[in-house]
C-alpha cells in the first residue's frame, strides 16, 4: 500500500507524524497541519503481477471551528496470535494509540 498526495507521483512519506499500515492500507496522520490539506489516493500494487489499483480521491480539510468531537482514548492492536520469523529478519507489529 502507498498513498499519493494531491497528484501522482507525489507519494506520502512515512515520518514521525505519518504511518501507512501494511496490514490494512490505512493512512494515519497525527497532529494534522495545514500542509496536510489536500487530496489523498490509495495505491495498491500486487507485487507478483505488478497490477495497480487506485482508490477515488479522498479530500482532507481542516475545520476552523475548533470542534474535533470526543473520542475516548483507546489502543488498537492487531497482532496475530503467533508470529513466526527467521532469525535476523525484521518483524513489524502494529499498535495505534488514538483519542482525546
- Strand partners of residue 42: 3
Residue 5: DSSP 8-state: E
Which backbone phi and psi does 10 adopt, to 5 degrees?
-85, 95
State the sign of the Cα–Cα–Cα–Cα dihedral 45, 61, 19, 75. Answer: negative
Could you report the per-residue pLDDT of 69-97, keeping only the tens digit for each? Answer: 666 666 666 666 787 888 998 887 777 77
> Range of 45's domain?
2-98
User: For residue 32, what pLDDT is reported?
Assistant: 86
Could you report the per-residue pLDDT of 26-57, keeping only the tens digit for each? Answer: 898 888 889 999 999 999 988 889 899 999 99
Look at the chain and report how many structural domains it folds into. Answer: 1
CATH number of residue 48's parent domain: 2.60.40.10
Report how far residue 80's alpha carbon sits from residue 82's, in angstroms, rounded to the nearest whole number: 5
Contacts of 97 (CB under 8 A, 6+ apart): 73, 74, 75
Amino acid at each position: 500500500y502507498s498513498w499519493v498526495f494531491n497528484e501522482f507521483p507525489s507519494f506520502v512519506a512515512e515520518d514521525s507524524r505519518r504511518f501507512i499500515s501494511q496490514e490494512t492500507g490505512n493512512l494515519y496522520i497525527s497532529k494534522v497541519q495545514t500542509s496536510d490539506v489536500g487530496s489523498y489516493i490509495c495505491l495498491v500494487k500486487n507485487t507478483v503481477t505488478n497490477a495497480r489499483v487506485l482508490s477515488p480521491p479522498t479530500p482532507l480539510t481542516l475545520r476552523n471551528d475548533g470542534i474535533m468531537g470526543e473520542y475516548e482514548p483507546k489502543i488498537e492492536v492487531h497482532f496475530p496470535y503467533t508470529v513466526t520469523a527467521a532469525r535476523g529478519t525484521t518483524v513489524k507489529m502494529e499498535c495505534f494509540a488514538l483519542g482525546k
